[in-house]
Structure 1
């Protein structure tokens, strides 16, 4: 519960905040699942339903570009401009004793990407998603808080490089991506307000209708192509890797709908730059989750598990960049995978992890709400241990990463692309074997299903 030591403390502090807005004390406070950075709590007050969005600790907010007061103001401006954003009722204050955050009116619909992707009219929903993004990009500076930052492209890439150094600077594929970003940095364009996290998982929908745009903590002024590209990353398509635009449809349909609503033209080169940038950004963001856990700022199990999703982004990044390699290197066969050793004697670490995961599966029906979600995360974590123990994968290489950053090694280096492909496949197969892009890459690179 972050800084909150008990459910009673959360209820008391929330009641104090609600009273400032003339609202009744909260009832039925329930932690919502998901949320890689912030907590969300649903509750009733009077005859309405509401959501508290809060930081797990005040220290968690220290390196963020703005606080929850600014985020709430951005949401209010978007809501007032017709964006399908929630209504903000009241912000937390230090005297409430429950951290930093704000209360919003609950919106209908589900944020579950798989439920959204199963809806009957994804093309209709995609058009509405494009419409709301165009409205966000049209919000004038005068309607927004003065501390909303503007992205400097070069500084942003340098920031990613600094994160890479802090994380050990030993991931060759990420180094390859950083070098590409520096070599392909675009010219500045007139900035618009970017949502910063516009993708499935942060959108609500019901009956193929967009009902909410959530999680505005990364809003900033910048290139509109960044927002457009981010939702089209492979990771945010979930099971529908065949639908490049948010898993809902074709990229052309998304671009056409956005251009019709915004009056702006989408540039393919800029789109690709931001697709690569955000893939590197999320790879490093995943790595950083482990540091949050190690520091004690947030000891949620989900943090350490998300850190292992870096391998998803490494594979996706290689799929994005490999088209720049010479044809001969693209055609070079990928080395075969090593055969795993058959265990003998006493149980291995991986076998113990598997046994624990299997036992947890027998008790999952006794869990509810966030505890059930955390049990699923725990089983995923144990699966990672078991698979890594069996495969003994190793993809870290600081010397090669430095050579790629310096341009001494490139995708034209004989055999490098094939080696990186093999490493990406093996690492992801151990970390997240159900990631949909793994099967696609396996078939493309090795011809195997």
Structure 2
């Protein structure tokens, strides 16, 4: 990959560094004197969807949130993205803070931020959503259209109970999620909330990052994603801390609460399919896919009983 800052009228930076945590995109921090910027290269991105993401972030920036969200800097010709041979590039100012640890206090703050964010997103018109995720799992990645073929491929890579479980539960969870979409409230959601997409300073959340997969989905699915990606194996104390924070800004209905175990499994299985698509696109490894498959298999074991959250 090459770093080209000329669309923003910038020359060679004083320093370039990579983030500590992985990303679906190619990300670099570039420093000019005391100013640091985030350069993000979105591989195989849809220009219309990236533009929609920037419009959504612009609206969120006017919602009076207690934390920041990224804002793309305009190029010299007024655009918010630049075309490169490797994909669409965006540049934004680095926001203050560091990624939080998994302490109970910071998990509570993380949940509080997601609850506040979801409350703000609920007020925005659905037309602002860059994508609609209320669809079957076979459509979430263009590289994966035959889930049966994917199951057989994974069984060849990792024969045994794990892939047998995946093949059995995938159609069940896909159908269950479709049924939930008929009755539960939908809104624009972040879609990928995790501690790695959060910045904190002095015990307070300063920014929520990475809205690349933001779109229309069930409101409760955003909490499910946050729990799955922010807690350590659904540790009961961590789950309680995160949910206590979330409830400050957003309250789920009883039906949404009941749906959380299904949505957690849907999220876990969906991450396997997402990573398998990235593998086929050359952006992830075989081991990445198998790691997420193993994590999905373990998820049900973390629950207090079949398809239940820890109490």
Quote how far apart the aligned CAs of 1:104 are: 1.1
- Alignment partner for residue 80 of structure 1, among 52, 56, 62? 62
Q: 1:22-421 alignment to 2 at 5 Å?
A: 26-45=13-32, 47-55=34-42, 57=43, 60-61=44-45, 66-83=48-65, 84=67, 85-90=69-74, 91-94=80-83, 99-111=87-99, 116-118=101-103, 121-122=105-106, 124-126=108-110, 128-141=112-125, 145=128, 148-152=130-134, 155-159=135-139, 162-169=145-152, 170=155, 171-182=163-174, 184=176, 185-186=179-180, 187-233=182-228, 236-238=230-232, 241-243=234-236, 249-251=238-240, 253-262=241-250, 264-265=252-253, 267-293=256-282, 298=283, 303-319=285-301, 323-324=305-306
Higher RCO, 1 vs 2 (CA within 8 Å, ≥6 residues apart): 2
* Kept in 1: contact 2:111–2:243 (CA 8 A): no
Quote how far apart the aligned CAs of 1:50 are: 0.9
Which structure features the higher share of strand residues?
A: 2
Q: Which 5+ residue runs of structure 1 have no aligned equivalent? A: 5-9, 326-449
In structure 1, distance between residues paired with 2:21 and 2:278:
14
Quote how far apart the aligned CAs of 1:176 are: 2.4
* Kept in 2: contact 1:81–1:135 (CA 8 A): no
Aligned length: 284
In structure 2, distance between residues paired with 1:271 and 1:31:
35
Match of 1:393 in 2: none
Which structure features the higher share of helix residues?
A: 1
Quote how far apart the aligned CAs of 1:107 are: 1.2
Quote how far apart the aligned CAs of 1:140 are: 0.9
What secondary structure, in the 3-state scheme, does the structure 1 residue paired with 2:165 have? Answer: helix
C-alpha spacing 1:151/1:121, structure 2 compared with 1 (3 Å): closer
Instruction: List structure 1 runs of 4+ shifted beyond 4 angstroms.
Output: none
C-alpha spacing 1:283/1:97, structure 2 compared with 1 (3 Å): closer
* TM-score, structure 1 as length reference: 0.55
Match of 1:17 in 2: 7
Larger radius of gyration: 1
In structure 2, distance between residues paired with 1:162 and 1:24:
43
* Kept in 2: contact 1:18–1:25 (CA 8 A): no
Q: Which 5+ residue runs of structure 2 have no aligned equivalent? A: 75-79, 156-162
Quote how far apart the aligned CAs of 1:40 are: 1.0
